[in-house]
Amino acid sequence: MGNKVRDMRTTQTKQSLINAFFYFVSVKDFEKITIADLTQEAKVNRATFYAHFKDKYDLLDYIMGDSAIMAIERRTLGVTKFNQESINQLILAVCDFYQQPKLKCRQSYIGLVIPQLKEKIIYELKQYLSKSTDHPFSDREKDLYIPIYAQIIHEAGYLWASENIEFSKEEVARKISKWI
């Protein structure tokens, strides 16, 4: 079997499992979702699930990481720069990340999901900022400033998404990006 066919099948299988997970998070508490539920809904066998994920926590982790990456890529178009416009787009990406309809789930998930969401998006923000070629930092300074900027960017987007803020997300992003 060719690599392209195998990759396409792997992608389709993962997507089926992800779709099954999204279905169940809307109707069941996380602790009550079983691998059997997921595989039955995705129409794959148990061994196939374990070929892709260690357990349902690993699946959740994958979904959140993938969502964080996609939110940043959609806003930055894959271009890594360190300037006011890219910071602006990163803040908007965080707003988008927390507003994704697929990430909406039952109230019982809040304690489980929110800390993981924050961890994933901050990790991806740090990755993006570290890769940007035009930042004004030495390698030693990057270790200090990149995590600080990632936290500021995250807080701006998270507060906008979770609070009843009167400003538009574009306004918040524009003002915060000027400070950075």
User: Any idea what the CATH number is for the domain that residue 129 is in?
Assistant: 1.10.357
Query: Do 29 and 80 lie in a common domain?
Result: no
Q: What is the mean pLDDT of residues 125-153?
A: 85
Alpha helices by DSSP H, the chain = 3-25, 35-42, 46-52, 56-76, 84-99, 110-131, 139-162, 169-179
CB 138 within 8 A of CB 73: no
Q: What φ, ψ does residue 68 adopt, rounded to 5°?
A: -65, -45
Residue 11 and residue 81 in one domain? no
Residues 20 and 95 in one domain: no
Residues 44 and 79 in one domain: no
> What's the mean per-residue pLDDT of the chain?
85
Q: Are residues 27 and 111 in the same domain?
A: no
Residue 112 has pLDDT above 90, yes or no: no
User: For residues 90 and 117, what is the distance between their CA atoms, to the nearest angstrom?
Assistant: 15
Residues 30 and 87 occupy one common structural domain: no
Q: Would you say residue 103 has pLDDT above 60? A: no
| Number of domains the chain contains | 2
pLDDT at 19 over 70: yes
- Mean of the pLDDT values across residues 37-44? 96
Share of the chain above pLDDT 70, in %: 86
**165 shares a domain with 106:** yes
User: Are both 23 and 84 inside the same structural domain?
Assistant: no
Same domain? For 26 and 73 the reply is: no
Residue 1 above 50 pLDDT?
no
The CATH code of the domain that includes 4 is 1.10.10
Q: Write down the pLDDT at residue 99.
A: 83
Report the alpha-carbon distance of residue 65 to residue 61 in Å, rounded: 6
In this structure, are 124 and 173 located in the same domain? Answer: yes
**Which range among 8-12, 38-42, 115-119 has the greatest average pLDDT?**
38-42
Residues 74 and 108 in one domain: yes
pLDDT band at 5 (very low <50, low <70, confident <90, very high): very low
Examine the domain organization and report whether 74 and 157 are in the same domain.
Answer: yes
Band the pLDDT of 180: cuts 50, 70, 90. Answer: confident
Range of the domain at 49: 1-53
